[in-house]
Structure 1
Amino acid sequence: MHEGKIIKFYRERAELTQDQLGLGICSDTHISKIERGITDYSQEVLDLLCVRLGISMQCELAKFSSIKKRLYDWHDAIVKQLSAEMETIKSELEQEALLQISEYETLYLLLQAKYLLLKNQAETALRILNRIRKTAVRLPDFESNLFKHVEGLYHISKQNHVEAITILKTINDKEYNNPEYFHHLAMAYHTMRSEVMAYFYAEKARNFFKEINCFLRVIDAEMLMLIQVQDDPQHDFKEVIARFENLIQSCDMCNAPDRKAKIIHNLAYEYLRRKDYQKSSSLYLQSMELKSPRTLPYLLSLEGYLRSCFKGILLQAGELERLAQVGLTDAKALKDPVFILLFTMLLLLINGKEAEYYQYMNEEALPVFRKFGYVYLIRRSEQQLFHYYARTGNTEAALRMGHYLIEDHDIL
């Protein structure tokens, strides 16, 4: 059957008709049946057809049979986030013409979409997903679950964590056999401030990464687990800090500056929560130095840095405003609605426009935070609005916001 597909592929590439290919060898009807794999043919006929096409069937069959292995090798490299290996296999597969006639083309496209999401190219990945969606109900079990996994990753990249959780939880473990998706479930639950579920899935992911000896991903999972226990009274703050520092050292040993940047960012947040603005601002700055400017991870640390500096009165108002404006400009260029809101609010705060700040937070920001399921930002906004309304004598609004806070707490 593969021989027929290969004959047809190279015949069409050579722009030959079936009649032209079979001239002096066999009829065009026989060529048609060979290509469809519905007839027998002699080795002599096959050899003559290959000579005319200028191919070695043995070599072509070897390439054809290696496609599946290389695709799973690529999948493995993407799971382990081995950059050099990922790029090498990607280049090999891009040069493999037979991919488009193999039964693994959909698997290739799904892995391509997953790779693109890893490279922050969400819109290109979405185009691939939309192309596959038309026939998704007919996908084999593994590809069907991989489609759900990649779709969940897309929603995480677009900050739609509620939808990501809904999709990822439909994955069938027995059919998929790739527990990496537990890590992505943990990420989504973390953003939703569901600490128990985030810890549960992060631990499952860590165990998987240990099994496949992928230390870089173990660091990712352990960082997620650590973040979930920050408010646990059984964990002393000094112990938490020591664990953060151990993870930072692990990143240095593995030469993983991107992961180090994330861990330092999360450590900065721990100090910000405890109102140590000098320490938090310093750590946010360190995290920014390890990130590429004008990216979402950079803007995340920039927002934390500016908030620390504002609260700790560590920068002049003019410099705060300049940096916040840079953040807003970059957020608009990246078309990210959440960061546009965050930097707009920072600018209002820096310029002393308190009433406008809280009005914008209530009318513009909070609905978007709720839409995307950013529980931390929802709770922070509701708490700030509650205290503002109570302080300014707006009892009705304060009671309404207090009701939201209680309701959110019950849900969590």
Structure 2
Amino acid sequence: MLEGKIIKFYRERQNMMQKDLGSGICSSTHISKIERGLTEVSKETIELLAKRLGIDMKSEIETYLGLDSLLKKWHEAIIMKLNSKAESIKKQLETVPLLHMPDIYRSYTLILTRYYLLIGEDQYVDSLIGEMDRWLDLSPYDKNMLLHIKGIHGLLKKETDVSISFLHEIDPTYYNNQEYYYHLAFAYHSLNSRVLAYYYAEKSLRFFTEERIFTRIIEAEMLMLIQVEQDEYYHPKESEYQRLIEMTENLGLKHQRSMLIHNLAYQQVRKGDFEKACEYYEQSMDSRDPETSYYLGSLEGYINSATRQGLKSTEELLQLAEKGISLSEKINETTFKHFFHLHKYNLKNNKEEYYQYLEKEVFPYFKKMGLVLLIEHYSIKLFDYHMEKGNTAEANTYAKFLVEKYRQKDYFV
């Protein structure tokens, strides 16, 4: 009986004994049976108990029955990355004491953790995951949702291997949120494993298309496009990006539009059209908050393209590099801080300082963070540098990483 569950919840919430609640109404034994749903009880008795607890039973029942739908809408808003809607529902839920009923609390906590992952509040995520790890007798759905949460958390912490391990444990038989395929795709993208990244991005695209989640359709298609454009034999048409950009404009998706323009700029860099790359990077920066890593990424791309274009003065580009360093330090973005320092040494033509900084500061940091694509790129640069100087032993330390990555079983004589 739902009334009994609600009575028990509010009685315990108010630290009231059963005998005190039932005093003058019914016995503590009868209260116990009501709370456990083991006896019939009159409407009058329920009203008297509710009055003593200071609640409106009809309103509480309506609230309880509506919570499942509201939690589902909250989760959907988070999956769709509708931050404002997710925040609004969170505020609405925070006014509902019944969220702390045992049969609702777990669902609420799981979705709350997804919300904090969405807005980047890591300090809350760590605490909530620690609490959920102590839960016993998880339902199959809750167990798989917790694995998904840990996988996303691993991605944000740049613990890619850990993230992949959690995400591969998910059993889709019990977990219908196939959004996790996108997170698997992103994890493999971080490891520069393009085939698997494309494979899982395509699976996530099918899910987002079926659910008509347009924001995520664009993200999945963009991730797939990034994988194929890395192939030296593949030359994606600019129209593929323009189609997605037009979709973001029609849907009012400013963040996704900026991401697409940023990636389109990088495509121009690969084609050697640095003038067009600069134009796109400027467009991307114009629509971003300067105190974000997204802005820094476009600023770094602009400096790189403008340097290669050769039309901007060294002084102007150095000022932009200093701006990048300052912003990176302000928001604690170490990766971009290193990039802007490398740009400074490069612009000043300080080759020795460039490679010393790269070897002593930048490369160890990339290895620590597991940034595979950057490790591969700078391993080659450092290998070439040491070979040019005749430092064979040092060069081989960087060659070893690449050899191990591409080592295969020996099928030949």
**TM-score, structure 2 length as denominator?**
0.90
Q: How does 1:360-371 map to 2 (within 5 A)?
A: 360-371=357-368
C-alpha contact (below 8 Å) 1:345/1:357 kept by paired residues? yes
Residue 182 of structure 2 aligns with which residue? Answer: 183
- Given candidates 353, 358, 362, the residue that maps to 1:356 is 353
Residues 108-155 of structure 1 show CA distances to partners (whole Å, capped at 9, x for unaligned) of 1221121222222223222222222222x5321111111111111112
Inter-partner Cα distance in structure 1 for 2:251 and 2:199: 26
Q: CA deviation at 1:23?
A: 2.0
Q: Runs of 5+ in structure 1 lacking a partner?
A: none
- Given candidates 382, 385, 407, the residue that maps to 1:385 is 382
Residues 221-273 of structure 1 show CA distances to partners (whole Å, capped at 9, x for unaligned) of 111111111144664x2x43221111111111111110011111111111222
CA gap of 1:102–1:13, structure 2 versus 1, over 3 A, is closer
C-alpha contact (below 8 Å) 1:272/1:308 kept by paired residues? yes
C-alpha contact (below 8 Å) 1:226/1:240 kept by paired residues? no
Q: Which has the higher contact order (CA 8 A, sep 6+)?
A: 1
The amino acid across from 2:326 in the alignment is T
Inter-partner Cα distance in structure 2 for 1:233 and 1:23: 81
Residue 131 of structure 2 aligns with which residue? Answer: 131
Inter-partner Cα distance in structure 2 for 1:145 and 1:347: 47
Moved more, 319-328 or 142-151: 319-328
The amino acid across from 2:145 in the alignment is L
CA gap of 1:162–1:338, structure 2 versus 1, over 3 A, is farther
Q: CA deviation at 1:220?
A: 0.9
Inter-partner Cα distance in structure 1 for 2:209 and 2:336: 35
Moved more, 319-328 or 97-106: 319-328
Residue 325 of structure 1 aligns with which residue? Answer: 322
Q: Does 1:245 align with 2:242?
A: yes
The amino acid across from 2:296 in the alignment is L
Residue 210 of structure 1 aligns with which residue? Answer: 209
Q: Runs of 5+ in structure 2 lacking a partner?
A: 409-413
Residues 299-355 of structure 1 show CA distances to partners (whole Å, capped at 9, x for unaligned) of 222222222223333433333333323322332333333233323333333333322
Q: CA deviation at 1:39?
A: 5.3
C-alpha contact (below 8 Å) 1:64/1:102 kept by paired residues? no
Inter-partner Cα distance in structure 2 for 1:314 and 1:129: 51
Inter-partner Cα distance in structure 2 for 1:150 and 1:64: 26
Residue 255 of structure 2 aligns with which residue? Answer: 258
Q: How does 1:288-299 map to 2 (within 5 A)?
A: 288-299=285-296
Q: Does 1:166 align with 2:165?
A: yes
Secondary structure of the corresponding residue to residue 25 of structure 2? coil
Moved more, 243-252 or 198-207: 243-252
CA gap of 1:410–1:307, structure 2 versus 1, over 3 A, is farther
Q: How does 1:32-43 map to 2 (within 5 A)?
A: 32-37=32-37, 41-43=41-43
Secondary structure of the corresponding residue to residue 81 of structure 1? coil
Residue 301 of structure 2 aligns with which residue? Answer: 304
Residues 5-62 of structure 1 show CA distances to partners (whole Å, capped at 9, x for unaligned) of 3213333555654333222112344434534555554443222212333433233122
The amino acid across from 1:116 in the alignment is Y
Residue 52 of structure 2 aligns with which residue? Answer: 52
C-alpha contact (below 8 Å) 1:278/1:314 kept by paired residues? no
Residue 148 of structure 2 aligns with which residue? Answer: 149
C-alpha contact (below 8 Å) 1:113/1:150 kept by paired residues? yes
C-alpha contact (below 8 Å) 1:113/1:126 kept by paired residues? no
**TM-score, structure 1 length as denominator?**
0.90
Moved more, 85-94 or 160-169: 85-94
Q: CA deviation at 1:185?
A: 0.8
Inter-partner Cα distance in structure 1 for 2:207 and 2:267: 28
Q: Does 1:105 align with 2:105?
A: yes
CA gap of 1:195–1:296, structure 2 versus 1, over 3 A, is same
The amino acid across from 2:301 in the alignment is G
Secondary structure of the corresponding residue to residue 384 of structure 1? helix
Percent identity, aligned pairs only, is 38
Inter-partner Cα distance in structure 2 for 1:88 and 1:269: 36
Inter-partner Cα distance in structure 2 for 1:334 and 1:38: 58
